[in-house]
Amino acid sequence: MRFIGIGLIGTLLALIYGFFTQRWETTVQIIGWFALVPLLLAGLLAGVFVSGDRNRANYHSGDKETRKARGSWTVRFLLIGAPNAVCVLLFVVIAVVQSGGF
C-alpha cells in the first residue's frame, strides 16, 4: 500500500502543478514519466527485455534470495507506476472524447 501511495503522491504533485500553471500537456508528460520510469525498472528487474536463453541462464546462476529480492522490487515498481499509468490513460480518454474521436 505504501508504494501505491508513493505513486499517488507523484500523480497529485503533477496535478497540482497543472492546476496552478494550466499547462496540462506538461502535466501529462510529467505523469507519463512517473509511469514510464518505474515500469521500465520493473521490466529490467523481471528480465522481460532479454531472450529466453539468457533469462533461463540468469535464473539458474542467481541464488534464491536474489531472485526473491528482484521479484519484490519488481512488484514495488509496478505499484509505484500503476496509479500514474491509470491517470495518463484517463487523460488520453478524456482528450479523445472531447475531440469527438469516439
32-69: pLDDT as tens digits:
999 999 999 999 988 888 887 777 777 777 788 888 88
Mean pLDDT throughout 21-39? Answer: 94
| pTM greater than 0.75 (yes/no) | yes
Our count of domains for the chain comes to 1
Percent pLDDT > 70 in the chain is 98
The confidence band for 102, taking pLDDT boundaries of 50, 70 and 90, is low
Structural domain harbouring 84: 2-98
Length of the chain: 102
Q: Which three cell numbers stand for residue 95?
A: 482528450
Per the listing, cell 528480465 goes with 47
Higher pLDDT, residue 53 or 11: 11
The DSSP call for residue 10 is: H
